Structure 1
């Protein structure tokens, strides 16, 4: 996109629809490609309208790929809606390898480093956390007791609190105020008290990863849970871990230990493992957990930040609450950043397989070899078939918010979402919860659900997550900084408490995709070095939801 201010845009020369970059009233005269016509309908910003009449069953193209078919005749200048368009996507097959790509100029980042935590396996963390995790949901209460005992005392409690608000509401009630008076009251809470002094200077936090799995489900789910937890234990941002097991659950400690060995054969981090049915009383379990965890924290605190090359960055690419601008602003900006990192020897992870529907051919052709391409196509095919067998499918992926803001078919959403992956070859295709072992662009099979996908990307090794959103979402992660990027300026201004970077500048024409990509990478380096704290970290947005391999889109 050029920096010239425009009111509508054709994304790809083969597209037969235009995207409104601002609200366009009914009757607006459109001059495009040698013809002039008036809009039949009002077209809100982010939505699409037809360049020429689209009869029933006419194929609709965006981003140069098939994204739907007309289910009713759409006149020239007519608005595309769920009433006149249905999902459609091209089929895919094993094609020729298309590995040529234009590597971006990385001169502005030559010689740059970030300050990270170096681990024995050669990885480098952007943070230094201790994690406390249950093997099964039965231990969640004990996890919460440990949290209450450790977080505040050691100086890791977030300062933001609404206790003052509650106290004022109580005073109003005790004074006999009516419900209406309480609702209309102007609450002026006292200022937050600062955190107590942190005891361990080199530990960024103690994080508690409670969940609802480990037993009672399928063995597949309990086994993959063990793999996910192993991914977090061996993660470069994790200094050590405390694991609580009941003892009789499907997710056995022995399975976890095998999964740790798969990821790090020479694992040497402090690891506390306690089994309640062996220890005996709850009191003894918690006392041992506190003592051994504290001893582990003392050891973990010895690690300090040291310089590391940018090739040690592993960036997860994520989107949630997407809108019609996602595929033309924030997502392609991340695509350019991805290409920059790949050129410098780093790793990036593109996940959310339901949101790759319609671009399978391009991505499979970009796989470095036939085996990798076949694995990607197999995962896409079996995932969609499993969803359809349960009465859904990738076509059901867009949420009501997506549709309201211009993403009316899964293929439209997918074509824009895939832009996060840039243009470099696909070096590996991973199935959940596998770990990234190769530099370059990695495809990771996850659902489109942003918290489940972010949880999985971090389990695969992402030490930074870049998360684009057009509608706004607070998603974060316990151990990896999640940086939020808005696709439009209005949302950035409306939700400054959860958004870090505005990419609406691309839509407005004040910045190119390449400029935005470099600006984002500069911020990533600051976050990776501990010099900047993303909003999700400040808010303590510690989302952790393991994927149940049953259908989740």
Structure 2
């Protein structure tokens, strides 16, 4: 008989419903058998003991909430009877012993990547067009649109053109009714021209709303992020447009590039509109130089590289009550394999590490690294509280609806993406990953801000787990989506790459699913498979302006 509920950790005093459970039903695992006092929807939790007001709610073996009213054994755990709570944390003793996975089947594996002069290896070969300030967004968009169309990177006709034509005919004829869905055919031939540069994966732009009007620190942080993209292994070169009078000046960008790559040799074209003068002259020069750069970029071809050259970003969004028991721990196992092999993995979203700070601090390789993590977490939390919005405000309406009713519940499951390896390094935004192993990167929990930051720090592939579905992608790094449940995978197959709902159904172990994720990552890294976010054109880029974003 299929398992209907799960106690995640032996110390937990709540269990998770793996399917919809009904009031009056006898349920439980192991020696615990109780009568449900409420209907419990799948992904939600129920009490396996009686709680008095103030009793700790324990899940994943950590404090995740506190009872605000008496709760009977068998009652549904909800926002009406518990509130967020998390444990205190401090720098303590190191606990870096861990069980390494067997990696014998992976030790000789390679992927086909783009080898860069600094020794890094990219999974893509893109050219970037970047504004240093929002005033140049129009100009970089003109450059981008012109080049991608004329060089064979853009369909000349949208797959939705048929729908628009049908709507026009209907409007002119005055006939009522719905236009048939067959008017939309994303797979239909759309007149894609021949691609001139076969080894250049595309031309991407990074428009944003920053560069001026903020503080000098805002400008430095933006330049640091942009420098992370310019020096990124997935980037062959870049064209950068500056207006000239903004805070984010060209020398500041150059300094940030030098911090990340002291021997930077990629083609980089820096143009300032106020020096050039005429806008047409600026665009002419930018397009001409970019074309020259593309000629050079096309000389780089995919070559074999060991998989320890991968830098894997670990992300989640639209999480649900299954995230922490299916997709996230499976991704964590894949992370542990990569760490054992000497690769880098990046875990971010600091508001979604609330409640597991002590464990992560203890896993840091030394006290200095642990101190930095603790200080960054406490500073972030204090800043959030100062504007009346602590980490407890993090769960979204969708999270709560699908079982993540406190930030600590959400965080304890989200942290599973980082596996069990020691924490090799802790970075503040937008610093660059510099060590193999697990790195913690300070970012918001906001999906796109966090993904943008992970890529800016060096992630060459991102795996993004989701329980509710999100189309988030990135301009230069493939973002692989993994569903926590099969219903989502079947419903949103156009944006989800892999299904980890097999774990919930008992068809696959966490380890088996983790190995399947890693195999897919290697295929994506080699260009054998195009991640669905990339295929769908989801080029999301949102810099974090270091305010309070949860």
Give the alignment's TM-score, normalised by structure 2.
0.98
Matches within 5 A, 1:89-238: 89-158=86-155, 161-178=159-176, 181=177, 183=178, 188-189=183-184, 191-238=188-235
CA distance in 2, matches of 1:22, 1:340: 31
**Contact 2:167–2:179 (CA<8 Å) still a contact in 1?**
no
In 2 relative to 1, CA 177–493 (structure 1 residues): closer, same or farther, beyond 3 Å? same
Structure 1 partner of 2:513: 516
Question: Secondary structure of 1:152's partner?
Answer: helix
**Contact 1:321–1:401 (CA<8 Å) still a contact in 2?**
yes
CA distance in 1, matches of 2:196, 2:180: 40
**Contact 2:166–2:179 (CA<8 Å) still a contact in 1?**
no
Question: Secondary structure of 1:392's partner?
Answer: coil
**Contact 2:6–2:29 (CA<8 Å) still a contact in 1?**
no
Deviation at 1:273, TM superposition (A): 0.6
Q: Can you list the C-alpha shifts for 1:425-444, whole angstroms capped at 9, x where unaligned?
A: 10100000000010000000
Q: Can you list the C-alpha shifts for 1:439-497, whole angstroms capped at 9, x where unaligned?
A: 00000000000100000000000000000000000000000000000000000000000
CA distance in 2, matches of 1:438, 1:332: 23
Question: Secondary structure of 2:488's partner?
Answer: helix
Aligned residues: 547
**Contact 1:168–1:187 (CA<8 Å) still a contact in 2?**
no
Q: Can you list the C-alpha shifts for 1:308-349, whole angstroms capped at 9, x where unaligned?
A: 001100000000000000000000001100100000000000
Q: Can you list the C-alpha shifts for 1:62-118, whole angstroms capped at 9, x where unaligned?
A: 000000001111111000110101000000011100110000001121211000000
Matched, 1:5 2:2: yes
Question: Secondary structure of 1:108's partner?
Answer: coil
Structure 1 partner of 2:363: 366
Structure 1 partner of 2:67: 70
Deviation at 1:37, TM superposition (A): 2.2
In 2 relative to 1, CA 189–504 (structure 1 residues): closer, same or farther, beyond 3 Å? closer
Matches within 5 A, 1:352-391: 352-391=349-388
Question: Secondary structure of 1:67's partner?
Answer: strand
Matched, 1:413 2:405: no
**Contact 1:160–1:192 (CA<8 Å) still a contact in 2?**
no
**Contact 1:8–1:19 (CA<8 Å) still a contact in 2?**
yes
Matches within 5 A, 1:382-401: 382-401=379-398
In the alignment, which of 423, 426, 431 is matched to residue 428 of structure 2?
431
Q: Can you list the C-alpha shifts for 1:520-550, whole angstroms capped at 9, x where unaligned?
A: 1111111111101110011010000000101
In the alignment, which of 531, 537, 543 is matched to residue 540 of structure 1?
537
Deviation at 1:144, TM superposition (A): 1.3
Question: Secondary structure of 1:49's partner?
Answer: strand
In the alignment, which of 343, 346, 368 is matched to residue 343 of structure 2?
346
In 2 relative to 1, CA 155–430 (structure 1 residues): closer, same or farther, beyond 3 Å? same
Question: Secondary structure of 2:34's partner?
Answer: strand
CA distance in 1, matches of 2:405, 2:360: 22
Structure 1 partner of 2:482: 485
In the alignment, which of 21, 24, 28 is matched to residue 25 of structure 2?
28
CA distance in 1, matches of 2:242, 2:175: 49
In the alignment, which of 48, 56, 60 is matched to residue 59 of structure 1?
56
In 2 relative to 1, CA 524–194 (structure 1 residues): closer, same or farther, beyond 3 Å? farther
Deviation at 1:219, TM superposition (A): 2.1
**Contact 1:338–1:348 (CA<8 Å) still a contact in 2?**
yes
Question: Secondary structure of 1:254's partner?
Answer: helix
In the alignment, which of 32, 35, 38 is matched to residue 35 of structure 2?
38
Q: Which moved more, 1:466-475 or 1:211-220?
A: 211-220
Give RMSD over aligned pairs. 1.1
**Contact 2:6–2:28 (CA<8 Å) still a contact in 1?**
no
Give the alignment's TM-score, normalised by structure 1.
0.97
**Contact 2:93–2:362 (CA<8 Å) still a contact in 1?**
yes
CA distance in 1, matches of 2:181, 2:253: 52
Question: Secondary structure of 2:105's partner?
Answer: helix
CA distance in 2, matches of 1:494, 1:70: 36
**Contact 1:473–1:498 (CA<8 Å) still a contact in 2?**
yes
In 2 relative to 1, CA 22–550 (structure 1 residues): closer, same or farther, beyond 3 Å? same
Unaligned runs of 5+ residues in structure 2 are none
Question: Secondary structure of 1:104's partner?
Answer: coil
CA distance in 1, matches of 2:72, 2:179: 49
Question: Secondary structure of 1:548's partner?
Answer: coil
In 2 relative to 1, CA 315–160 (structure 1 residues): closer, same or farther, beyond 3 Å? farther
Matched, 1:446 2:443: yes
Q: Can you list the C-alpha shifts for 1:335-374, whole angstroms capped at 9, x where unaligned?
A: 1001000000000000000000000000000001111000
CA distance in 1, matches of 2:180, 2:32: 58
**Contact 2:124–2:477 (CA<8 Å) still a contact in 1?**
yes
Deviation at 1:391, TM superposition (A): 1.1
Question: Secondary structure of 2:143's partner?
Answer: helix
Unaligned runs of 5+ residues in structure 1 are none
Question: Secondary structure of 2:33's partner?
Answer: strand
Question: Secondary structure of 2:266's partner?
Answer: coil
**Contact 2:5–2:28 (CA<8 Å) still a contact in 1?**
no
Structure 1 partner of 2:315: 318
Q: Can you list the C-alpha shifts for 1:397-443, whole angstroms capped at 9, x where unaligned?
A: 00000000000000000000000000111010000000001000000
